[in-house]
Structure 1
Amino acid sequence: MTSGRLVLILCCLGQVLVLTSAQLSKLSIHGEVELEKQLLRLLLRLRAEENFDTLVIYGEDCVFHSMLRHSLVPTVLASSGSTDFDWSFSSSTLILSCGANAEREQNYRTLMKLQMTRRLIYLHEDIEPETVCGHYSVREQHNVAMVQSSVDQLLTIYTCRCFQEPNYEERDLCENRPIFVEHFRDMRGGIIRTQTDKLIPRTMVYVDAKSGKEKIIGYVANLVNNFAQKVNATLDFHQRWKDDEQEASYTDIIRGVEKDRLDIGTTIVSSLQVSNLDLLSYPYLLTSYCLMVPVPARLPYNQIYAIIVDPLVLCIIFVLFYLLSALLIYSQQLSWQGLTLANVLVNDKSLRGLLGQSFPFPRNSNRKLKLVCFILCFASLMITTMYESYLGSFLTLPPPEPALRTFPDVSNSRHKLAISRFELNVLTAKNNSHLRQLRRDHILVIEEVDQFMLLRDSFNDSFIYTVTNDRWSSYQDQQRIFKKPMFYYSLDLCFNRFLYLQIPLRRHLPYRHHFEEHMQRQQEFGLVQFWKSQSFYDMVRLGLTPMRDYSQPPHIDPAILVEDISWILKLFGAAIGISCCCFILELWLGRSRMASPSSNIN
């Protein structure tokens, strides 16, 4: 009896345990389903705030993996915590992590591409949200939200916040406030570490009269200043570079950005100088890199007489002279009996006629001779009028010397090319083909960039200088106060016609996209062009450039001097010498004929 009751009790107890386990299993499945529903609602809400078309899940199996059967969007699984390929998708992505330490991405290119991507982390453990936000903040990944489920499967949402204490906020799924916000639209006085190269006119330092603080101005400095004001940030220029606290040079700024000591470099870098595009922003300016050539000088007066006589025209005049000489000889007797080489080459009537001088006109001339003389007089009128016009206009305003069109012309000119050592090294490293066309003895290399810029700013027209088009614009404005321009920008002599100028940025700069958007808006509204047009006036206002006319006024003589007609006098002396020689030769030949014995007539 006792054993039967015991068996009955055990059977009832087993039945109760089976029913209880079944009930608990149903409750657990129901709780997981409810949790999945809440997570799906959260993902749909995130998709409504900002659309995404790719999911990346980091970590081992968790509730995010169970949602894959709903197939919202294409999904990439990274169970090991890191991908084995460069992230090259152009799609917008949402990252899901199965735990606070699930994401251990080691691929550099993937880190760069996914740095600003939104992250949703499922917390298994009892971890403080403040710790997780701090961990991701150190890695400069700021778009982070966390979800944590309670015992009754209620979903709690935490979202990280920058520039405030505490560094997270709790959100409810039914709230109307966004979960992810743009933290860097208002940095609340956060620090932007920067440094300027103080190269005018792009960055000019001055002391504000009201506040007594150092400020910067220029078409690069204004861009950084306006961005700091837009995002409510503070610019920090006081970066220590060396033990003696010297000013930061251009290379120091690039090195500081490369080593993450600077956020933004207040300078511009050309695409020739830096090959790592991760350190550069979207192109700020498109310019060219050409030569600043002295304006060709006016020809001296003694060379004007040579340039007004074109060789081809001179040949035509000689041919016309010989034809008219032959026609004059034929027209006088209507025969070729008097045609000799001497009469054709040195015909007195034809020569004096083409020079516009009088000559004896033969009596009883026929119509053919009159027609030839008429042609001779008309040709002399045209030739003398043409050359008198040329001579008068060129003596009034002499033409300039031939302009330099090619790099070999630069090597053959009297001007040397002045270039800094830094620019020469860059062109040599790029194996520039135009540089190879210049003779090394025709290049003046200046070691220090500052010394090169001082020489170029002095408008010393003994040299040709390298310059970018954006810097040339300020030189062009400066030359407007000169009596005459001294230099011109030669588009025929360019080392690079399409040169991008970019702003140095730190690799993992979290607000890079905001800065590049700001930069493009400044270009769109024409502010950059306006700043460039005001560069020279800002330089004058700050006392960095004097209002001085570097051009030399042209020296105009009141009258033509002897050296101005030296070339003509030399030709006249040579012609007189040849004439004397011919006259002496004729006298000697005539005397020889008279002295020779007469022949005997038998």
Structure 2
Amino acid sequence: MQSCHITVVFLLSSYLALSSAEDRVGLETIKENNGKNIYLDILSEMDKQQFFNSMLFLYRGCINDSRIEQLFTYPKPKVIGSCIQDFNYHRVFNGELLTVFIADGILDYQLLQTTAGILDYHRQTRIMAVALNIQHQEDLKQEFLQLCENYKMTKVLLMFLQDNEVDALQYYALKPYPQYHWLEQSLANSQETLWYPHHWLNMHNVSLITYTSQDPPGAILYYNGQGQLKTNGYVARLIQLFAEKFNASLQMYEPLRLDKIVNHFELNELTIAGKLDIPMAMRSALIDGEMIRTSAYYELSYPLLIVPCATPLSMHEVFGLLLNWYFFACVLLSSLLLSFAHSLIDYYLDSLLYHLNFVINDRVLPGVLGQSFAPRDSSWRSLKIVYLLVSFVGLNVSTQFSANINTLFTTLPYHDPINSYEDLRHSTAKIILPEVTAKTMIPILPLFGKSLTVVENGTLVYEHIRQFNNSYGYIISSSTWNHFDQRQQFYSQKKFCIVRGVQFIAFMLYCIALPPHSPLKEPLDHFLYRINELGFRQAWQSSTFNDMVKLKNITLIDENPPEDKRVLRVEDYFWIWLIVAIGCSLSGSVFLVELCMAKF
């Protein structure tokens, strides 16, 4: 714990060293003439109301006012910046911060812009603006108010320093809702109220621009009984409840249309561009540093590769499995060996010579196939042994063939399942992936081989997923898979299966994307912690599934029910037709050859 504290102080000191010599001020405690340190008391009261870890000072030039110097004596690590130093504070440090902005004589626009950049995506940071030597206070108030609204700063105090009397210290508290305005305060009654209240607890019906995706179960659109277009889904319900909880209203970016599919990639791009205040869609925080540009996590998930499940073999595939090369090799080799032995005995013992019988013997081949055959009447025991071997071979072939055909036709076997990248590369399955997702998986894309297809149109991919199209495989989150698995639990044959041997990163954080300088990060983070704690997401997911069934967006009826009995069709006899065709062609060819030989 001590080493961590030293590291933080060292990092803060490194930023302090960046400031110029003229910007540094003495950190010795300076007392007012009456012996009371006014600003140390103010900072102490702020620290008691809401703890802060460090202080950020932003000013230009040299500060000689003793009242300002008191701020530097507060016992907290400090970062001193100027208009030429720009960095993102929360990319380096993770802690509560109090920012002190000093305006001497004029309002420094460039310095305020630098302040906004340093506090990027952390608009809940408390800001104390201290103004001294200001001749036109009303003009500065209005200019500063406009800049606060432009940069979406919400927790700001503006203090004009005129004298050292405690009772004369007047300050202005920024109120961002429903419109940006100043509320005049005095130090005399500051003990009764919070220095930096949570204004977002009541947004006074301010309009938040939003839009919904149609990526079930996150968000769906449907018409209710009154013909009104409504939204549902565990992401859409989150945003709706957020607006209701903090007294805000939601305004759609454009009119909703049931036939217009907008996926979460497009909504996140609109949000990053600043066109949406809060989208009804989630964003994966895969890229380093993206967490500061999003809310706290809403869903902890992990990616899965799903492919069409292995299907039963068709009838002609079963015949192909039975009449494979191993079966024909056994029959031909046994027939050839026994025909050769039979013909050899005929030749040496009975002086019978038929050259073709050395290859195919009409007394041997039927027996090898398990059929009845007519043995030649002979007293030779060796020939009787050959016939005995023919009978045993035929019995073995017919028994195994009958057992296999009964088993395979009773319970059809399945194609080989896909369990690894190797299986995927050698299968006919095709994986389609949006280009946006593919960019985050560049190192492992070669493992998919030719089975992967990257498409630029991400909407097309999510339309296939929404329609439960098992012509392709997809990479989806575990929550989407739970939705898939819940849907197909009533099917006799599942349409999608997980590739167990393919694993990606351990988990993914799904958050809500926010526009630049969004003031909604603090209330949304606070809200998400409570939602996850109370289990609302799981309840909303179940509710969305039930609604999708009621709306007939999904069906629980088995799309491929098992067939108990059916009549064999022409295509089922594929191998039989093939054998008949080959046999007729071969016998016809031999007949023509023999006919020609007989004539010539």
Deviation of residue 468 (structure 1)?
3.7
| In 2, Cα distance between equivalents of 1:171 and 1:558 | 90
| In 1, Cα distance between equivalents of 2:596 and 2:221 | 87
1:10-409 alignment runs, 5 A limit: 31-32=32-33, 34-35=35-36, 37-59=37-59, 60-61=62-63, 62-63=65-66, 66-67=69-70, 70=73, 72-78=75-81, 80-81=82-83, 83-87=85-89, 88-92=91-95, 93-99=97-103, 101=107, 104-106=112-114, 109-112=117-120, 115-124=123-132, 127=137, 134=145, 137-138=148-149, 139-145=151-157, 151=163, 153-154=165-166, 156=169, 158=171, 160=173, 162=175, 163=177, 167=183, 169-170=185-186, 175=191, 178-198=194-214, 200-205=216-221, 215-230=230-245, 232-239=246-253, 253-254=267-268, 256-269=270-283, 280-282=294-296, 284-285=298-299, 286=301, 288=303, 293=308, 296=311, 298-299=313-314, 301-312=315-326, 314-316=328-330, 318-322=332-336, 345-347=359-361, 350-358=364-372, 360=375, 377-400=391-414
2:430–2:452: 8 Å Cα contact kept in structure 1?
no
Q: Report Cα offsets for 1:541-576 as digits up to 9, x if no partner.
A: 3x3626585836677875445664353254246446
| In 2, Cα distance between equivalents of 1:406 and 1:174 | 66
Structure 2 partner of 1:596: none
| In 1, Cα distance between equivalents of 2:231 and 2:483 | 18
- The reply to whether residue 509 of structure 1 matches residue 518 of structure 2 is yes
Q: Report Cα offsets for 1:527-548 as digits up to 9, x if no partner.
A: 434433443321233x362658
Unaligned runs of 5+ in 2: 1-29
What is the letter of the counterpart of residue 241 of structure 2?
Answer: N
Q: Equivalent residue of 2:370, what SS?
A: coil
* Most deviating of 570-579 and 84-93: 570-579
What is the letter of the counterpart of residue 547 of structure 2?
Answer: D
What is the letter of the counterpart of residue 47 of structure 1?
Answer: D
The structure-2 alpha-carbon separation of the partners of 1:590 and 1:191, relative to structure 1 and needing over 3 Å to count, comes to: closer
Deviation of residue 506 (structure 1)?
1.7
Quote the RMSD (CA, aligned, Å): 5.7
| In 2, Cα distance between equivalents of 1:260 and 1:568 | 68
| In 1, Cα distance between equivalents of 2:514 and 2:587 | 81
Q: Equivalent residue of 1:202, what SS?
A: coil
The structure-2 alpha-carbon separation of the partners of 1:350 and 1:307, relative to structure 1 and needing over 3 Å to count, comes to: same
| In 2, Cα distance between equivalents of 1:68 and 1:425 | 48
| In 1, Cα distance between equivalents of 2:262 and 2:469 | 26
| In 2, Cα distance between equivalents of 1:291 and 1:509 | 36
1:112–1:508: 8 Å Cα contact kept in structure 2?
yes
The structure-2 alpha-carbon separation of the partners of 1:237 and 1:203, relative to structure 1 and needing over 3 Å to count, comes to: farther
Deviation of residue 86 (structure 1)?
4.3
| In 2, Cα distance between equivalents of 1:458 and 1:214 | 20
What is the letter of the counterpart of residue 237 of structure 1?
Answer: Q
| In 1, Cα distance between equivalents of 2:334 and 2:217 | 62
* Most deviating of 555-564 and 583-592: 583-592
Deviation of residue 117 (structure 1)?
2.1
What is the letter of the counterpart of residue 102 of structure 2?
Answer: C
| In 2, Cα distance between equivalents of 1:203 and 1:333 | 85
The structure-2 alpha-carbon separation of the partners of 1:121 and 1:424, relative to structure 1 and needing over 3 Å to count, comes to: closer
**Rg larger for:** 1
Structure 1 partner of 2:26: none
| In 2, Cα distance between equivalents of 1:521 and 1:30 | 45
1:540–1:546: 8 Å Cα contact kept in structure 2?
yes
- TM-score by structure 1 length? 0.67
Structure 2 partner of 1:4: none
State the identity %: 17
| In 2, Cα distance between equivalents of 1:150 and 1:84 | 31
1:451-600 alignment runs, 5 A limit: 463-464=471-472, 468-469=476-477, 470-471=479-480, 473-474=482-483, 476-480=485-489, 485=494, 487-488=495-496, 491=499, 502-519=511-528, 521-523=530-532, 525-541=534-550, 543=551, 545=553, 547=555, 549=557, 551=559, 558-560=566-568, 564-565=572-573, 567-572=575-580, 574-575=582-583, 578=586
Q: Equivalent residue of 1:34, what SS?
A: coil
2:88–2:120: 8 Å Cα contact kept in structure 1?
no
* Most deviating of 265-274 and 493-502: 493-502
Deviation of residue 265 (structure 1)?
1.2
The structure-2 alpha-carbon separation of the partners of 1:446 and 1:85, relative to structure 1 and needing over 3 Å to count, comes to: closer
* Most deviating of 139-148 and 216-225: 139-148
Structure 2 partner of 1:15: none
- TM-score by structure 2 length? 0.68
Q: Equivalent residue of 1:389, what SS?
A: helix
The structure-2 alpha-carbon separation of the partners of 1:390 and 1:133, relative to structure 1 and needing over 3 Å to count, comes to: same
1:158–1:169: 8 Å Cα contact kept in structure 2?
yes
Deviation of residue 112 (structure 1)?
0.4
| In 1, Cα distance between equivalents of 2:439 and 2:73 | 59
What is the letter of the counterpart of residue 196 of structure 1?
Answer: T
| In 2, Cα distance between equivalents of 1:125 and 1:134 | 19
| In 1, Cα distance between equivalents of 2:297 and 2:364 | 71
What is the letter of the counterpart of residue 195 of structure 2?
Answer: I
